[in-house]
């Protein structure tokens, strides 16, 4: 199972990628999508939504269940991945590239300390 070392992770199985422009992309991990099964629908917040770490920012629906998505850090939603509306299967096919879910700006940098690096996340899912 893939756990990219250039990302940070939450205990709720979201990944966080710091972009060069200071924004942050968020999605769910390969572990999470495998647990959920085939994703058939993704619900994401509106651009401009203010999120606090731990807030629900949407949900993913699979053939098995519906699961809430939780913000691993605080910030303002600056972009959503609109491709997931028509192609929710991207979450299963490419959880770290095509299936990013939201992008945040105005990020609370202090929250990075609450996230896991790849090694710690691998222990969590081990």
Nearest to 58 by CA among 116, 100, 11: 100
Q: What is the pLDDT of residues 48-82, one digit of tens each?
A: 999 999 999 999 999 989 999 999 999 999 999 99
DSSP per position, 46-88? PTT-EE-TT-EEEEEEESS-EEEEE-SS-EEEEEE-THHHH-T
Per-residue confidence (pLDDT) for residue 109, from 0 to 100: 77
Q: What is the pLDDT of residues 13-46, one digit of tens each?
A: 999 999 888 899 999 999 999 999 999 999 999 9
- What is the distance between the alpha carbons of residues 56 and 69, in angstroms, rounded to a whole number? 5
Q: What is the pLDDT of residues 72-110, one digit of tens each?
A: 999 999 999 999 999 999 999 999 999 999 999 988 777
User: Which domains are delineated in the chain?
Assistant: 8-116 (2.40.50.100)
């Amino acid at each position: 199972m893939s756990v990219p070392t250039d990302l940070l992770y939450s205990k709720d199985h979201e990944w966080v990628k710091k972009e060069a422009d200071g924004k942050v992309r968020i999605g769910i991990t390969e572990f999470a999508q495998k647990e959920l099964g085939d994703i058939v629908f993704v619900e994401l917040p509106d651009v401009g939504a203010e999120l606090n770490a731990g807030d629900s920012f949407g949900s993913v629906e699979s053939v098995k269940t519906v699961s809430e998505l939780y913000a691993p850090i605080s910030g303002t939603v600056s972009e959503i991945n609109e491709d997931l509306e028509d192609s929710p299967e991207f979450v299963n096919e490419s959880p770290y590239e095509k299936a990013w879910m939201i992008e945040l700006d105005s990020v609370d940098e202090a929250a990075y300390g609450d996230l896991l690096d790849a090694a710690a996340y691998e222990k969590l899912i081990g």
